Chain A
Amino acid sequence: MTFFFQNVVNALQWGSFYALIALGYSMVYGVLLLFNFAHGDIFMVGAYIGFFVVSGLLAVASMSSLLLPNWLLLVLGIIFAMFLTSFVGMLVERVGYRPLRAAPRASAAITGLMIGIILETGNLALLGARRVSFPSLIATTTYNIGGVSITNKKITIVLVSLLLMLVLHQFVQRTKWGMAMRATAFDFSVVPLMGVSINTIAALTFGLGSALAAAAGILFSVAYPVLDPYMGITIGWKAFVAAILGGRGSILGAALAGFLMGFIEIFVVVIPNPFPTMFPFSLFPAPYLFPSTLRDLVAFSIILLILTFKPHGLFGEAHTARLRL
């Protein structure tokens, strides 16, 4: 049982990363009917921006001998990095996707992949091929709750993620900007007739999605403090799969599927092997059914199976063709 809860904690942490990134994919799809395939790299950019912001804050704090507590630096770092990365997202939309709004969807997909490559290699060109270490702001404290060890970092990551999702939900449901996003997702062709510019809503959606990716980037760096230019690729694709699993355009779906993704991934490699020593049932005599090298294979197979029965995802609706102008 302790073992089970230990894995729940890990799954929640990974689920937080996936959910925050998946939200960006899903929102952009819901509003603009395109998948921003550069989104995983925006996560990476967000982590780097977070690195520079936090390093900068630390330098300023030490120079001016201001005694800012580290948790405050982390909060400020998250806020600044989210703010700055949202502009990166808006720039990507403005330069990459806006000229292609009427073009076939494949053009937008190819452009997204290209923007991703530009962000990765641009980072490589600017900072060189070395990994950077994210400053360790919080010292790890481990709490032992009934045999389950939980670190303060994991608690922070999960709580901050949930808080951000709650804020996003309130924004989308309660503000006029959120209302315009919901309207655009329903039928964007008449949105201009309300005096609302589609360009503004597109920029807003990209900005929000990118800010959440940046938050994921910093939280990820808190747990795994080594950054490299390609860190967004795998996690980005997995979050993309989570967005599909949740149902394209569904915010709740993306968040839940992100966590589901975390759970599947963590738990497939801890399924006990019923016949640990009998050769025909187990290729390798091992305590677990699947070796951890098969983690992604098994996880994706399960998701494929879910999508076979729910092709629109868990919360997606059958996609009715929307008229384009």
Chain B
Amino acid sequence: MLLSVENLQVSYQRIKALHSISFHIDEGEIVCIIGANGAGKSTTLRAISRLVPVEEDTKITYMGKDLLKYPADKVVSELGISHVPEGRRLFGNLTVMENLQLATFARSDGKQIERDLELVFSLFPRLAERQEQKAATLSGGEQQMLAVGRALMSGRKVMLLDEPSMGLAPLLMLNLFEALKEINEEGTTILLVEQNARLALQFAQRGYVLESGSIVLEGPSEKLVDDPGVKKAYLGG
């Protein structure tokens, strides 16, 4: 088990966003969490990245280490868990290249950085063409590529992806997911959160279904796709 989350509870002010959810990811897997808007999918990822405080009995273990001992920046720089946030959240005032360089801020492995940069540019040749352009001037598809590329530069072990398909035209979406598959084959474990359940279940090997802050169903993707409840609620009947 690479990452195990046990009894994860998060509250915003006094409102519980996550009621004790538990799940795990094995090395090299692609796992998805599907669920409706507001089910707590983003909160789950933000808790792993330590962007939101968790409640006391929560346990998150990563490669045998207590992840909750690490602050947000160390989760990325020391544990290698990167996060593509919802809505991309690029630094629009920085160029494409600067966005990628900033992600390597805490890294000192110069040679590997070079190789990672080559990987990003081979996955997304468009970014190579637009290196000197400000991130804010990119199209939606290019921005999502940069968001994924930036995460790749910040840490290679695990990538947390929050709604990468959002706002993308179908063709761009397919291209992006092909790139993600390649990233996974290069050795990055992926935890994907998606509202587009059909896409997510095609892409992932296993999935969890999150409903109002609790996991209601889990299993291999093929099984979830055939589940009548999932079909009805997330796949349009």
Contact = CB atoms under 8 A, between A and B. Distances in A.
B37 interface: no
A191 B76 CA distance: 11
A70 interface: no
Contacts of A191: 73
A195 B77 contact: yes
Given A176-B105, A189-B89, 9 more contacts: A186-B94, A190-B89, A192-B51, A192-B71, A192-B73, A193-B85, A194-B73, A194-B105, A195-B103
Interface of B: 49-52, 71-74, 76-77, 82-83, 85, 89, 91-94, 98, 101-107, 150-151, 154-155
Given A180-B105, A194-B76, A195-B103, A187 B71 contact: no
Nearest to A197: B73
Given A193-B82, A193-B85, A325-B52, A176 B102 contact: yes
Chain A: interface secondary structure?
helix
Nearest to A325: B51
Contact of B106 (A185, A190, A196): A196
A188 B225 CA distance: 39
A73 B153 CA distance: 46
A194 B107 CA distance: 10
Interface in A189-248: 189-198
B76 A193 contact: yes
A195 B92 contact: no
Contact of A195 (B50, B52, B73, B89): B73
Interface residues of A, number: 19
Interface in A144-165: none
A193 B152 CA distance: 11
Interface of A: 176, 179-180, 182-183, 185-187, 189-198, 325
A189 B85 CA distance: 10
B91 to A, nearest CB: 4
B107 A195 contact: yes
A186 B102 CA distance: 13
Contacts of B102: 176, 179-180, 183, 194, 196
A198 to B, nearest CB: 8
Contacts of A179: 94, 98, 101-102
A176 B105 CA distance: 7
A182 B77 contact: no
Chain B: interface secondary structure?
loop
B190 to A, nearest CB: 16
Contacts of B92: 186
A182 B93 contact: yes
A179 B106 CA distance: 13
B154 A193 contact: yes
A187 B102 CA distance: 13
Contacts of B155: 195
A187 B52 contact: no
A179 B98 CA distance: 7
A176 B103 CA distance: 10
Contacts of B85: 190, 193
10 A-B pairs with least C-beta separation: A195-B77, A192-B72, A195-B76, A195-B106, A197-B73, A183-B91, A192-B73, A190-B89, A196-B105, A186-B93
8 contacts: A176-B101, A179-B101, A179-B102, A187-B91, A193-B51, A193-B82, A193-B151, A195-B104
A26 to B, nearest CB: 16
B76 A192 contact: yes
Contacts of B72: 192-193
A196 B74 CA distance: 8
Nearest to A192: B72
Contacts of A187: 89, 91
B82 A182 contact: no
Given A179-B94, A187-B89, A193 B49 contact: yes
Contact of A193 (B52, B83, B93, B101): B83
Contacts of A182: 91, 93-94
B51 to A, nearest CB: 5
B175 to A, nearest CB: 23
Contacts of B77: 195
Contact of B150 (A186, A194, A196, A325): A194
Contacts of B50: 192
